[in-house]
Structure 1
Amino acid sequence: MTKTKTLTGGLVARSASGLPFLLHEGLLVAFVPPQLDAPRRARVSHVRDEGRGAYVVTFEGISSIDVAERLVGCHCLVRRADLPGDALMLEGEDLVGFHLIDCTLGPVGTITDVISSPGQLLLEVDCGRADVVLVPLVDDLLVEWDEDACTVLMDLPAGLLDV
Protein backbone atom coordinates (compact mmCIF):
# COMPACT_ATOMS: atom_id res chain seq x y z
CA MET A 1 0.00 0.00 0.00
CA THR A 2 1.59 3.25 -1.07
CA LYS A 3 -0.82 5.86 0.32
CA THR A 4 -4.39 6.51 1.38
CA LYS A 5 -6.80 7.68 -1.30
CA THR A 6 -10.24 8.14 0.26
CA LEU A 7 -11.66 9.28 3.57
CA THR A 8 -13.47 5.94 3.80
CA GLY A 9 -10.34 3.79 3.91
CA GLY A 10 -9.35 3.36 0.27
CA LEU A 11 -5.66 2.66 -0.32
CA VAL A 12 -3.48 2.96 -3.41
CA ALA A 13 -1.83 -0.36 -4.26
CA ARG A 14 0.67 -1.44 -6.91
CA SER A 15 1.87 -4.89 -7.91
CA ALA A 16 5.20 -6.25 -6.78
CA SER A 17 8.01 -5.77 -9.28
CA GLY A 18 7.65 -8.08 -12.25
CA LEU A 19 4.23 -9.41 -11.23
CA PRO A 20 0.76 -8.63 -12.52
CA PHE A 21 -1.72 -6.89 -10.20
CA LEU A 22 -3.61 -9.74 -8.51
CA LEU A 23 -5.99 -8.20 -5.98
CA HIS A 24 -9.67 -8.68 -6.80
CA GLU A 25 -13.01 -8.46 -5.04
CA GLY A 26 -13.49 -11.20 -2.45
CA LEU A 27 -9.78 -12.02 -2.07
CA LEU A 28 -8.58 -12.45 1.53
CA VAL A 29 -5.24 -10.74 2.20
CA ALA A 30 -2.84 -10.58 5.14
CA PHE A 31 -1.04 -7.28 5.75
CA VAL A 32 2.69 -7.51 6.41
CA PRO A 33 4.43 -6.41 8.42
CA PRO A 34 1.59 -6.48 10.95
CA GLN A 35 0.73 -3.07 12.42
CA LEU A 36 -0.47 -2.20 15.91
CA ASP A 37 -4.09 -1.10 16.06
CA ALA A 38 -4.77 -2.17 12.47
CA PRO A 39 -6.34 -5.30 10.98
CA ARG A 40 -3.97 -8.15 10.21
CA ARG A 41 -6.29 -9.54 7.53
CA ALA A 42 -9.12 -8.22 5.41
CA ARG A 43 -11.18 -9.15 2.38
CA VAL A 44 -10.97 -6.96 -0.73
CA SER A 45 -14.33 -5.29 -1.28
CA HIS A 46 -13.57 -3.16 -4.35
CA VAL A 47 -10.72 -2.48 -6.82
CA ARG A 48 -10.57 0.51 -9.16
CA ASP A 49 -7.85 0.91 -11.80
CA GLU A 50 -6.32 4.40 -11.56
CA GLY A 51 -3.98 3.88 -14.52
CA ARG A 52 -0.17 3.67 -14.71
CA GLY A 53 -0.08 0.57 -12.49
CA ALA A 54 -1.95 2.11 -9.55
CA TYR A 55 -5.20 0.75 -8.10
CA VAL A 56 -7.48 2.06 -5.37
CA VAL A 57 -8.41 -0.87 -3.16
CA THR A 58 -11.00 -0.92 -0.37
CA PHE A 59 -11.26 -3.67 2.21
CA GLU A 60 -14.11 -4.95 4.36
CA GLY A 61 -13.75 -3.62 7.90
CA ILE A 62 -11.46 -0.73 6.92
CA SER A 63 -13.78 2.23 6.66
CA SER A 64 -11.76 5.22 7.85
CA ILE A 65 -8.68 7.05 6.73
CA ASP A 66 -7.22 6.66 10.26
CA VAL A 67 -7.12 2.86 9.98
CA ALA A 68 -5.99 2.98 6.35
CA GLU A 69 -3.05 5.25 7.23
CA ARG A 70 -1.70 2.53 9.55
CA LEU A 71 -1.52 0.14 6.58
CA VAL A 72 0.49 2.43 4.30
CA GLY A 73 3.81 0.70 3.62
CA CYS A 74 2.38 -2.78 4.15
CA HIS A 75 2.31 -5.52 1.54
CA CYS A 76 -0.64 -7.80 0.86
CA LEU A 77 0.01 -11.52 1.02
CA VAL A 78 -2.47 -14.02 -0.34
CA ARG A 79 -2.70 -17.78 -0.26
CA ARG A 80 -1.22 -19.45 -3.31
CA ALA A 81 -4.42 -21.47 -3.68
CA ASP A 82 -6.43 -18.24 -4.11
CA LEU A 83 -4.44 -17.13 -7.17
CA PRO A 84 -5.15 -18.09 -10.76
CA GLY A 85 -2.76 -20.80 -11.92
CA ASP A 86 -0.93 -18.57 -14.39
CA ALA A 87 -0.55 -15.61 -12.00
CA LEU A 88 2.70 -16.61 -10.36
CA MET A 89 6.15 -15.86 -11.62
CA LEU A 90 7.85 -18.68 -13.38
CA GLU A 91 8.92 -21.44 -11.04
CA GLY A 92 12.67 -21.51 -10.52
CA GLU A 93 13.31 -24.54 -12.68
CA ASP A 94 11.42 -22.86 -15.53
CA LEU A 95 14.22 -20.25 -15.75
CA VAL A 96 16.85 -22.84 -16.70
CA GLY A 97 17.96 -22.04 -20.24
CA PHE A 98 16.94 -18.38 -20.03
CA HIS A 99 19.52 -15.75 -20.95
CA LEU A 100 20.49 -13.33 -18.17
CA ILE A 101 20.93 -9.73 -19.29
CA ASP A 102 22.26 -6.92 -17.11
CA CYS A 103 20.97 -3.36 -17.63
CA THR A 104 24.52 -2.01 -17.76
CA LEU A 105 26.67 -4.87 -19.11
CA GLY A 106 24.21 -6.42 -21.55
CA PRO A 107 24.19 -10.22 -22.07
CA VAL A 108 25.76 -12.05 -19.09
CA GLY A 109 25.17 -15.73 -19.75
CA THR A 110 22.73 -18.62 -19.60
CA ILE A 111 20.93 -19.76 -16.45
CA THR A 112 21.95 -23.38 -15.89
CA ASP A 113 20.31 -24.03 -12.50
CA VAL A 114 18.18 -22.41 -9.82
CA ILE A 115 19.31 -23.07 -6.26
CA SER A 116 16.90 -22.66 -3.38
CA SER A 117 18.54 -21.14 -0.32
CA PRO A 118 16.92 -20.01 2.95
CA GLY A 119 17.12 -16.31 2.00
CA GLN A 120 16.22 -16.38 -1.70
CA LEU A 121 16.62 -18.24 -4.94
CA LEU A 122 20.05 -18.12 -6.57
CA LEU A 123 20.49 -18.26 -10.32
CA GLU A 124 23.49 -20.29 -11.43
CA VAL A 125 24.72 -18.55 -14.57
CA ASP A 126 27.20 -19.91 -17.10
CA CYS A 127 29.11 -16.83 -18.27
CA GLY A 128 31.36 -18.76 -20.64
CA ARG A 129 34.31 -19.05 -18.26
CA ALA A 130 35.60 -21.90 -16.13
CA ASP A 131 33.29 -21.25 -13.17
CA VAL A 132 29.67 -20.22 -12.84
CA VAL A 133 28.31 -17.13 -11.14
CA LEU A 134 25.54 -17.17 -8.53
CA VAL A 135 23.08 -14.29 -8.82
CA PRO A 136 20.38 -13.70 -6.18
CA LEU A 137 16.88 -13.66 -7.65
CA VAL A 138 15.37 -10.82 -5.59
CA ASP A 139 12.85 -8.10 -6.40
CA ASP A 140 15.44 -5.33 -5.94
CA LEU A 141 17.57 -6.70 -8.80
CA LEU A 142 14.89 -8.10 -11.12
CA VAL A 143 13.73 -5.64 -13.76
CA GLU A 144 11.63 -7.95 -15.94
CA TRP A 145 11.55 -11.31 -17.61
CA ASP A 146 10.26 -12.23 -21.02
CA GLU A 147 8.94 -15.74 -21.33
CA ASP A 148 8.69 -15.57 -25.12
CA ALA A 149 12.28 -14.35 -25.59
CA CYS A 150 13.59 -16.55 -22.71
CA THR A 151 15.36 -13.60 -21.10
CA VAL A 152 15.71 -12.27 -17.56
CA LEU A 153 16.68 -8.60 -17.30
CA MET A 154 18.36 -7.61 -14.04
CA ASP A 155 20.10 -4.55 -12.64
CA LEU A 156 23.11 -6.23 -11.04
CA PRO A 157 25.32 -4.45 -8.49
CA ALA A 158 28.75 -3.46 -9.77
CA GLY A 159 31.31 -6.21 -9.12
CA LEU A 160 28.81 -9.04 -8.56
CA LEU A 161 29.98 -10.93 -11.64
CA ASP A 162 33.62 -10.63 -10.53
CA VAL A 163 33.08 -12.64 -7.35
Structure 2
Amino acid sequence: MIDSHSLEPIGTLGKPHGVQGECNARLTVDLAALFEEEERLFLFFELDALLVPFRLIGYREKSSEVSLLRFVGIDSKEAMERYSGVPLLMEKRYLEDESLEFTWEHFIGFTVFDRDGSSVGTISDLDDSTLNTLLSITTPEGQEILLPVAEDLVVDMDVARRTLTLIIPDGLLQL
Protein backbone atom coordinates (compact mmCIF):
# COMPACT_ATOMS: atom_id res chain seq x y z
CA MET A 1 0.00 0.00 0.00
CA ILE A 2 1.34 3.40 -0.99
CA ASP A 3 1.14 6.17 1.59
CA SER A 4 1.98 9.86 1.34
CA HIS A 5 5.32 9.36 3.15
CA SER A 6 6.65 7.22 0.30
CA LEU A 7 5.76 9.84 -2.34
CA GLU A 8 7.46 13.05 -3.42
CA PRO A 9 5.75 15.97 -5.23
CA ILE A 10 7.21 16.40 -8.72
CA GLY A 11 4.93 18.98 -10.30
CA THR A 12 1.44 19.93 -11.32
CA LEU A 13 -0.71 18.82 -14.22
CA GLY A 14 -1.57 21.61 -16.62
CA LYS A 15 -4.06 22.03 -19.43
CA PRO A 16 -4.80 19.32 -21.99
CA HIS A 17 -2.66 19.29 -25.13
CA GLY A 18 -4.44 18.11 -28.24
CA VAL A 19 -7.44 15.81 -28.28
CA GLN A 20 -5.88 12.43 -27.34
CA GLY A 21 -5.71 12.99 -23.55
CA GLU A 22 -2.17 14.35 -23.39
CA CYS A 23 -1.48 17.21 -20.96
CA ASN A 24 1.10 19.88 -20.23
CA ALA A 25 2.95 19.51 -16.95
CA ARG A 26 5.57 21.54 -15.15
CA LEU A 27 7.83 18.96 -13.55
CA THR A 28 10.72 19.34 -11.15
CA VAL A 29 12.22 16.05 -12.39
CA ASP A 30 13.24 15.01 -15.90
CA LEU A 31 11.43 11.69 -16.32
CA ALA A 32 13.02 10.77 -19.68
CA ALA A 33 15.47 8.19 -18.32
CA LEU A 34 12.90 6.58 -16.01
CA PHE A 35 10.23 6.46 -18.68
CA GLU A 36 12.58 4.62 -21.05
CA GLU A 37 13.74 2.13 -18.40
CA GLU A 38 10.57 1.37 -16.43
CA GLU A 39 8.01 -0.89 -18.05
CA ARG A 40 5.24 0.25 -15.70
CA LEU A 41 5.84 3.70 -14.30
CA PHE A 42 3.01 4.98 -12.12
CA LEU A 43 2.57 8.60 -11.09
CA PHE A 44 0.03 9.64 -8.47
CA PHE A 45 -2.63 12.33 -8.74
CA GLU A 46 -3.75 13.95 -5.51
CA LEU A 47 -7.54 14.02 -5.84
CA ASP A 48 -9.68 15.19 -2.91
CA ALA A 49 -6.88 14.28 -0.46
CA LEU A 50 -6.63 10.78 -1.99
CA LEU A 51 -3.61 9.46 -3.89
CA VAL A 52 -4.70 7.83 -7.13
CA PRO A 53 -2.14 5.94 -9.29
CA PHE A 54 -2.09 6.45 -13.06
CA ARG A 55 0.24 4.55 -15.39
CA LEU A 56 2.35 6.86 -17.53
CA ILE A 57 2.27 5.74 -21.18
CA GLY A 58 3.57 8.86 -22.89
CA TYR A 59 6.31 11.31 -22.03
CA ARG A 60 7.99 13.94 -24.16
CA GLU A 61 9.44 17.38 -23.66
CA LYS A 62 7.56 20.29 -25.16
CA SER A 63 10.11 22.88 -23.98
CA SER A 64 12.81 23.19 -21.34
CA GLU A 65 10.10 23.96 -18.76
CA VAL A 66 7.08 21.95 -19.93
CA SER A 67 6.63 18.22 -20.53
CA LEU A 68 3.75 16.45 -22.22
CA LEU A 69 2.31 13.44 -20.37
CA ARG A 70 -0.19 10.76 -21.29
CA PHE A 71 -1.82 8.23 -18.94
CA VAL A 72 -3.73 4.96 -19.29
CA GLY A 73 -7.49 5.54 -19.20
CA ILE A 74 -7.34 9.23 -20.12
CA ASP A 75 -7.88 9.31 -23.85
CA SER A 76 -9.59 12.60 -24.62
CA LYS A 77 -9.18 16.31 -24.03
CA GLU A 78 -12.38 16.32 -21.95
CA ALA A 79 -11.18 13.48 -19.72
CA MET A 80 -7.87 15.28 -19.10
CA GLU A 81 -9.50 18.66 -18.35
CA ARG A 82 -10.82 17.44 -15.01
CA TYR A 83 -7.22 16.93 -13.79
CA SER A 84 -5.83 20.37 -14.67
CA GLY A 85 -4.07 21.87 -11.66
CA VAL A 86 -3.83 18.54 -9.82
CA PRO A 87 -0.59 17.88 -7.88
CA LEU A 88 1.54 15.08 -9.32
CA LEU A 89 3.60 12.76 -7.11
CA MET A 90 6.06 9.92 -7.61
CA GLU A 91 7.44 7.15 -5.43
CA LYS A 92 10.60 8.37 -3.66
CA ARG A 93 12.46 5.19 -4.55
CA TYR A 94 12.60 6.29 -8.19
CA LEU A 95 14.13 9.63 -7.24
CA GLU A 96 17.28 7.94 -5.95
CA ASP A 97 18.25 7.06 -9.52
CA GLU A 98 21.58 8.81 -10.22
CA SER A 99 20.60 9.52 -13.83
CA LEU A 100 17.68 11.78 -12.84
CA GLU A 101 17.99 15.51 -13.27
CA PHE A 102 16.09 17.92 -11.03
CA THR A 103 15.15 21.56 -11.40
CA TRP A 104 16.11 23.88 -8.54
CA GLU A 105 12.40 24.20 -7.76
CA HIS A 106 12.38 20.57 -6.65
CA PHE A 107 14.52 21.47 -3.64
CA ILE A 108 12.02 23.88 -2.06
CA GLY A 109 11.44 22.53 1.44
CA PHE A 110 14.85 20.82 1.61
CA THR A 111 17.24 21.56 4.47
CA VAL A 112 20.55 23.07 3.34
CA PHE A 113 23.84 22.11 4.96
CA ASP A 114 27.27 23.61 4.46
CA ARG A 115 29.99 21.13 3.45
CA ASP A 116 31.22 21.12 7.08
CA GLY A 117 27.85 19.67 8.13
CA SER A 118 26.36 22.77 9.74
CA SER A 119 22.70 23.48 9.04
CA VAL A 120 22.05 26.69 7.11
CA GLY A 121 18.24 26.51 6.98
CA THR A 122 15.33 25.45 4.79
CA ILE A 123 14.82 26.47 1.18
CA SER A 124 11.59 28.48 1.10
CA ASP A 125 11.69 29.85 -2.45
CA LEU A 126 13.96 30.46 -5.42
CA ASP A 127 14.59 33.26 -7.85
CA ASP A 128 15.68 32.16 -11.31
CA SER A 129 14.69 35.37 -13.08
CA THR A 130 18.33 36.34 -13.63
CA LEU A 131 21.39 34.50 -14.86
CA ASN A 132 22.30 33.55 -11.27
CA THR A 133 19.77 31.32 -9.53
CA LEU A 134 19.22 32.37 -5.92
CA LEU A 135 17.87 30.13 -3.20
CA SER A 136 15.81 31.88 -0.54
CA ILE A 137 16.69 30.13 2.71
CA THR A 138 14.97 30.58 6.06
CA THR A 139 17.49 30.07 8.87
CA PRO A 140 16.59 28.34 12.15
CA GLU A 141 16.51 31.85 13.69
CA GLY A 142 13.87 32.93 11.16
CA GLN A 143 16.11 35.14 9.01
CA GLU A 144 15.87 34.99 5.24
CA ILE A 145 19.08 34.79 3.26
CA LEU A 146 19.63 34.65 -0.47
CA LEU A 147 22.25 32.19 -1.61
CA PRO A 148 23.51 31.99 -5.20
CA VAL A 149 23.65 28.39 -6.35
CA ALA A 150 25.01 26.36 -9.25
CA GLU A 151 25.39 22.64 -9.93
CA ASP A 152 29.14 22.86 -9.27
CA LEU A 153 28.40 23.88 -5.65
CA VAL A 154 26.36 20.77 -4.82
CA VAL A 155 28.33 18.33 -2.67
CA ASP A 156 25.47 15.95 -1.92
CA MET A 157 21.72 15.68 -2.27
CA ASP A 158 19.60 13.20 -0.38
CA VAL A 159 16.07 13.20 -1.75
CA ALA A 160 14.83 10.70 0.84
CA ARG A 161 16.02 12.89 3.72
CA ARG A 162 15.24 16.11 1.81
CA THR A 163 18.72 17.54 2.36
CA LEU A 164 21.11 19.44 0.11
CA THR A 165 24.78 19.92 1.02
CA LEU A 166 26.47 22.85 -0.71
CA ILE A 167 29.87 24.47 -0.95
CA ILE A 168 29.19 27.91 0.50
CA PRO A 169 32.03 30.41 0.09
CA ASP A 170 33.45 31.77 3.35
CA GLY A 171 31.70 34.92 4.58
CA LEU A 172 28.70 34.62 2.24
CA LEU A 173 26.31 33.72 5.05
CA GLN A 174 27.41 36.73 7.12
CA LEU A 175 26.36 39.33 4.52
Taking structure 2 as the reference length, what is the TM-score of the superposition?
0.41
Higher strand residue share: 2
Higher helix residue share: 2
Taking structure 1 as the reference length, what is the TM-score of the superposition?
0.44
